[in-house]
């Protein structure tokens, strides 16, 4: 990836406006960019896209870890109501996380709302804006070099007929989210949000749900790059060792006196 700064999940607290605050002389442009950055947010900002997807990444990490523990331990690898309940909770919660990002509501913060607004106002995402984001991520004596790098890097996204981002890129991302919405809507609306008399015509497989999550994360990373010049893969929190709670017995079995 040709971004001006590579990021890791632990750095979501890094303010996305660091390379942006010195930019945007025009008030209306400032307002748009500022709104988009607020919507992206960080894992520490509840109610932002990054926070939602960070939580989803952690949920998926724990689920995969549980599956591995069960698969690798023959004593655990047997039918259990616990597994059935845990799997249902996982699937339902992940589907709702997906729904919040792909279902458009004008008063809600979502990935689909963000990409739709960026598509409709794509002229704000110019080569000069992106290059200055690159420059302002680095020390003053390095900024000229990094601005030139940003100008070159932006060519991958540039509209052939202007110095702005190619709107077709944003339209493709928007279409992908709309397709996920179309595919996930029946099961969510007819079984999770409501107990509809009409059964859903199709039920997504585990693999399809995981694919939707990966697509959403990929779109987030691209939008983050366009707005900040930072390559930011959405990864689970590496700072918490959640398996530690399984190192002690969960049930105290009283010992019988001889």
**What confidence tens digit (pLDDT) does each residue in 10-31 have?**
334 344 444 444 444 455 567 8
Enumerate the H helices of the chain as residue ranges. Answer: 27-40, 49-71, 81-102, 111-120, 127-136, 143-154, 167-187, 206-228
Q: Say how many C-beta atoms besides its own lie within 10 A of residue 224's C-beta.
A: 23
Give the CA-trace dihedral at 5, 11, 91, 65, to 10 degrees.
Answer: 100
Phi, psi of 12 (to 5 degrees): -65, -15
- Which of the four pLDDT bands, split at 50, 70 and 90, describes residue 161? very high
Q: What's the pLDDT tens digit per position in 136-148?
A: 999 999 999 999 9
Q: Distance between CA atoms of 243 and 176, rounded to whole angstroms?
A: 35
Q: Encoding tokens for residue 26?
A: 């025009």
Phi, psi of 64 (to 5 degrees): -65, -40
Decide: 213 and 94 in contact? Cβ < 8 Å.
Answer: yes
Q: What does pTM read for this prediction?
A: 0.86
Coil, helix or strand at residue 141: helix
pLDDT of residue 213: 97
Q: Distance between CA atoms of 127 and 152, rounded to whole angstroms?
A: 9
pLDDT of residue 240: 64
H or E stretch covering 5: strand 5-6
Q: Distance between CA atoms of 151 and 51, rounded to whole angstroms?
A: 30
Find tokens 């990054």 and name the residue: 50
Q: Distance between CA atoms of 131 and 139, rounded to whole angstroms?
A: 14
């Amino acid at each position: 990836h040709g971004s001006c700064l590579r990021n890791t999940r632990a750095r979501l607290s890094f303010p996305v406006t660091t390379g942006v605050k010195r930019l945007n002389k025009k008030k209306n442009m400032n307002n748009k960019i500022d709104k988009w950055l607020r919507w992206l947010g960080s894992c520490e900002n509840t109610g932002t896209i990054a926070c939602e997807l960070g939580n989803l990444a952690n949920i998926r990490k724990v689920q995969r870890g549980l599956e591995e523990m069960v698969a690798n331990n023959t004593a655990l690898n047997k039918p259990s109501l616990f597994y059935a309940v845990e799997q249902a909770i996982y699937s339902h919660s992940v589907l709702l996380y997906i729904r919040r990002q792909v279902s458009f509501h004008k008063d809600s913060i979502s990935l689909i709302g963000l990409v739709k607004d960026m598509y409709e106002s794509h002229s704000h995402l110019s080569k000069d804006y992106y290059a200055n984001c690159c420059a302002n991520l680095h020390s003053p004596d390095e900024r000229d070099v990094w601005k030139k790098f940003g100008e070159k890097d932006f060519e991958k996204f540039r509209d052939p007929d202007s110095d702005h981002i190619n709107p077709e890129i944003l339209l493709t991302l928007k279409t992908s989210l709309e397709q996920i919405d179309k595919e996930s809507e029946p099961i969510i609306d007819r079984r999770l949000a409501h107990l509809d008399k009409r059964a859903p015509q199709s039920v997504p497989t585990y693999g399809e749900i995981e694919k939707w999550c990966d697509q959403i994360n990929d779109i987030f990373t691209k939008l983050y790059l366009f707005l900040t010049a930072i390559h930011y893969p959405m990864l689970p929190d590496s700072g918490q060792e959640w398996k530690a709670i399984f190192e002690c017995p969960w049930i105290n079995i009283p010992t019988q006196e001889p």
